[in-house]
Structure 1
Amino acid sequence: MDKLSTSEPVATPAFKPARGHAALRRGRVSEAGRVYLLTFVTDHRHPWFADARLAEAAVSALLDARSWRHSTLLAWVLMPDHWHGLVELDERDCMPALVRQLKCSSSRRVRAALGAVVPAAVWAQAYHDRALRRDEALVAAARHVVMNPVRARLVRRAREWPFWGAVWMNR
Structure 2
Amino acid sequence: MPTKSHGCNLRRGRYSEPDRVYLLTSTLLQRRPLFSDFRLARLLITELRAAHEQQQVTSLAWVVMPDHLHWLIQLQTGSLDELMRRIKSNSARQINQHLGTHGPIWQPGYHDRALRQNEDLQSAARYIVANPLRRAW
Please point out which of 83, 88, 106 is paired with 1:98.
83
Alignment map for 1:29-108 (pairs within 5 Å) = 29-65=15-51, 68-90=54-76, 92-108=77-93
The alignment's TM-score, normalised by the length of structure 1, stands at 0.70
Alpha-carbon distance in 1 for matches of 2:27, 2:16: 20
What root-mean-square deviation, in Å, do the aligned CA atoms of Structure 1 and Structure 2 show? 1.8
Alpha-carbon distance in 2 for matches of 1:110, 1:129: 24
Which one has a larger percent helix, Structure 1 or Structure 2?
2
Alpha-carbon distance in 1 for matches of 2:44, 2:63: 11
Alpha-carbon distance in 2 for matches of 1:86, 1:68: 17
Alpha-carbon distance in 1 for matches of 2:96, 2:132: 24
Alpha-carbon distance in 2 for matches of 1:23, 1:54: 28
Give, in angstroms, the shift of residue 23 of structure 1: 3.9
Q: Give the number of aligned pairs.
A: 132
- Residue aligning to 1:138: 121
AA at the equivalent of 2:99: L
- Tell me if structure 2 keeps the 8 A contact 1:40–1:124: yes
Give, in angstroms, the shift of residue 153 of structure 1: 3.0
Give, in angstroms, the shift of residue 70 of structure 1: 2.8
Alpha-carbon distance in 1 for matches of 2:52, 2:21: 20
Structure 1: where are the runs of 5+ without partners?
A: 1-19, 155-171
Structure 2: where are the runs of 5+ without partners?
A: 1-5
The structure whose RCO (Cα within 8 Å, separation 6+) is larger is 2
Give, in angstroms, the shift of residue 112 of structure 1: 1.8
Give, in angstroms, the shift of residue 67 of structure 1: 6.7
Alpha-carbon distance in 1 for matches of 2:72, 2:47: 16
Alpha-carbon distance in 1 for matches of 2:63, 2:52: 19
Alpha-carbon distance in 1 for matches of 2:54, 2:61: 13
Alpha-carbon distance in 1 for matches of 2:24, 2:105: 17
AA at the equivalent of 1:120: G
1:114 aligns with 2:96: no
Give, in angstroms, the shift of residue 65 of structure 1: 4.7
- Tell me if structure 2 keeps the 8 A contact 1:71–1:93: no
SS of match in other structure, 1:63? helix
- Tell me if structure 2 keeps the 8 A contact 1:34–1:132: yes
- Tell me if structure 2 keeps the 8 A contact 1:71–1:88: yes
The alignment's TM-score, normalised by the length of structure 2, stands at 0.86
